[in-house]
Amino acid sequence: MTSKRTVPQQQSCGVNAALAVIDGKWKSSLLWLLESGPRRPGELRRRLPGLTEKVLTQALREMTEDGLVHREVHDVLPPKTEYVLTAAGRELAEALTPLSTWGHRRLDRLAEAR
C-alpha cells in the first residue's frame, strides 16, 4: 500500500523514508505501546494523556496505511477493535531502539547539567 506521505524522489534517503511514517507527535509513542502487544483504542488513549480520539484515529489509520499496524475487528457485541504491530512495525520499532537509547542518554546529560 502506498502512503500519501511519501518522500519526494529527489530527497529520498533511508532516514527520510523511515521518518515519513513516524512523523507527528504521537506515532512513535503508539509504536512503543503496541510493541508489547495488541491494544484497544481506549487503552491507547488512556496511556497517552493529551491524545484526542480524533488524532488517535488519524494516526492509527495512517500507520495502518503505511503497513506498520494491523486493525483487527472482533465479531462480538459490543464490537471490539484491537491494533497490533505488523512485521514491518516490529522491524521499525527494533530499528528505533538505538535512537531511543541515544535519547535517554541525552536526557540524562541534560538532567546532570541542571
Q: Specify the pLDDT at position 29.
A: 94
pTM value > 0.85: no
Give CA angle at 101 (91, 87), nearest 5°: 10
pLDDT band, residue 1 (cuts 50/70/90): very low
CA 39, CA 54: separation in Å to the nearest integer?
A: 17
Residue 8 contacts residue 16 (beta carbons within 8 Å): no
**Does domain 9-113 correspond to CATH entry 1.10.260.40?**
no
Annotate 21-56 with DSSP letters as a single string: TS-SSSHHHHHHHHTTS-B-HHHHHHHSTT--HHHH
Counting beta carbons within 10 angstroms of the beta carbon of residue 59, is it exposed (0 to 12), middle (13 to 18) or buried (19 or more)? Answer: buried
